Amino acid sequence: MIDASTLKFRNPMKTILSTIIAALFAGMMSFGAATEALAQTPAPVQSAPVALTGGTIHTMAGETIEGGTILFEDGVITAIGTNVQIPSGAEVEDVSGKHIYPGLIDAWSNMGIFEIGAVDMTVDVNEQGPVNPNVMVERAFNPESRHIGIARSAGILTSVTTPGGGIVSGQSAAMKMDGWAWDEMTLKSGVGMVINWPGSGNQNRYAEQIRELRSVFADARAYMKAREAMQNGDAQHHDFDSRWEAMIPVFEGDRPVVVNANQVRQIQDAITWAEEEEVRIIILGGVDAHLIADHLVEKDVPVILTTVLTSPFRNWEAYDHIYSLPARLHEAGVTFAIAGGNGAANANRLPYEAGAAVAYGLPVDVALRSVMTTPAEILGLNDRIGTLEAGKDATLMITTGNPIEYSTQVEQVYVQGRKSDMMDMHRQFYEKYREKVDQRSAQ
């Protein structure tokens, strides 16, 4: 992926400043690489069976298991319950008094493609041009991002990294939060085709952009039919086009379109458009979703709320308008997930987004599902993650309590059976300055 800021006509002062900052950043990293404190090594692949015993297991698929055991081998859960037969040679860890939950899922993030906003070369969110359905965001994913470890320590074990920019941004990917390289960290490629629905402020421009979107889909369908005819021997050779080839899974129903839309008109028009195109749709953003909740329920359209911890968008709305939005959608029967606001640097706040919704009326169990089970169901990941069941990935966390409560500590996480390093950058600084306090106290 190429960031839009790499176009040759740039602000020269910004370019100079970015170069200076990049040089300083590179120097800091090269110095830090030599120090053990900055190193966070990916966990090795699970080599022996692991049994976590005595904990309270919140499967999110049924009843909570008190004093249970969860056994996993080769990164996959093989047994769960109170009478699990532990094989010889297994690593047994007593987690009595602790809680075991599925890992959190950040359903909309720029994790791995955004590092430092002031340094252009570390930002790879937007591709050039308005139509890029062939962009595969995992190819640009940076496994060395310091945000990964911080999010992981907060219990976020899967990030749905999402490209931006243009009308058709490209394909999002579900990324595991541990691993050496983008390919082994990719849980699922092509989770959704991301579309930014036009803003409705300028009527003429709005209509023009919708016509452009329709034209994109018409061209892609024509390409698909031409290629099918060629393969069936009914037509001559038709050149391969990676843009339109990437659209075929959308037309076949294997990949949803994730439409970024917030206003009532945008959401309604996007749903109508999706019906006409006969494609599956997920609404991303959905600030006004409560105003057309019945319509969303009727059309069975899920929503990924992109933030809860924010102020209202209109000056006449109550201060808690966004805080209480999840509760209103739940009461209306809308299927929704809560995401963490997109920013990789603040991804670790995802549990608190769900927690804030609880404070403003959302039931606790629904809030937990909104960051675990529901995003997996909406995005087609529920065959691998979202619940703790035999046959699913051993992607889980051990906590001191409910993970969406502010006081809860995430003590250990496993990503597909890997026992991850919990000494992220935040904890490194905590230990450093705790040592300072201890030294001063001893004087």
Residue 240, classed as helix, strand or coil, is coil
Rounded to whole angstroms, the Cα distance separating 117 from 115 reads 7
pLDDT at 201: 78
Q: Residue 154's closest CA among 368, 347, 345, 344? A: 347
Residue 178 pLDDT grade (very low, low, confident, very high; cuts 50, 70, 90) = very high
Structural domain boundaries in the chain: 40-101+387-443, 104-109+139-385
For 40-101+387-443, CATH number out of 3.40.50.720, 2.30.40.10, 3.40.109.10, 2.30.30.230 equals 2.30.40.10
Q: Are 156 and 179 contacting, i.e. CB atoms less than 8 angstroms apart?
A: no
Q: Mean pLDDT, to the nearest integer, of 297-325?
A: 94
Beta bridge partners of 76: 73, 393
Q: What is the pLDDT of residue 202?
A: 83
- Whether 16 shows a pLDDT value over 60: the answer reads no
* pLDDT value at 36 more than 80: no
> Judging by beta carbons within 10 Å of its beta carbon (0-12, 13-18, 19+), is residue 265 exposed, middle or buried?
middle
Of residues 369, 415, 339, 416, the one with CA closest to residue 59: 369
Looking at the whole model, is its pTM more than 0.85? yes
Which tens digits make up the pLDDT trace of 254-265? 999 999 999 999
- Token readout for 65 is 């298991």
Q: Does domain 104-109+139-385 have CATH number 2.130.10.10?
A: no
Encoding tokens for residue 28? 């800091």
Assigned token pair, 295:
């319509």
CA distance 210 to 395: 40
**Rounded Cα gap, residues 337 and 369, in angstroms:** 8
* pLDDT tens sequence across 231-245: 888 888 888 999 999
Sequence-distant (6+) residues with CB within 8 A of 93 are 50, 51, 52, 53
Q: What is the mean pLDDT of residues 327-347?
A: 93
Alpha helical stretches, state H, 33-143 = none
The secondary structure element, H or E, covering residue 329 is: helix 325-332
